[in-house]
Amino acid sequence: MYAIVDIAGKQFKVTQDQFVYAPKMQGEEGASVEFDKVLLLDNDGKVEVGAPLISGAKVSGKILGHVKGDKVIVFKKKRRKGYKKKNGHRQDFTKILIEGISN
């Protein structure tokens, strides 16, 4: 069984006991969360597609922690002008354990 769910504006394909790195959300470590924006639900080959959402379907999870992603280097240069800029960025994520999918 899997579901496609909208978490903080991004779509994720989730199954039970899966870890998801979603954009940073409010909440403490160990807090439980529910996502009710379920777009698609597959229950052993029986696919249910929402228009746009499936009413009554929910995905429950637990926040395991707030982490940072890998560093991305942003380097800008204009040749023969002496212009160089180097910058780095690390995105904030929330690690979520999917505990269950209910219909």
User: DSSP class of residue 24?
Assistant: P
**Tens of pLDDT along 4-40?**
999 999 999 999 999 999 999 999 999 999 999 999 9
Mean pLDDT, residues 49-59: 93
Query: What are 87's two structure tokens?
Result: 């910058």
- What is the pTM for the complete model shown? 0.83
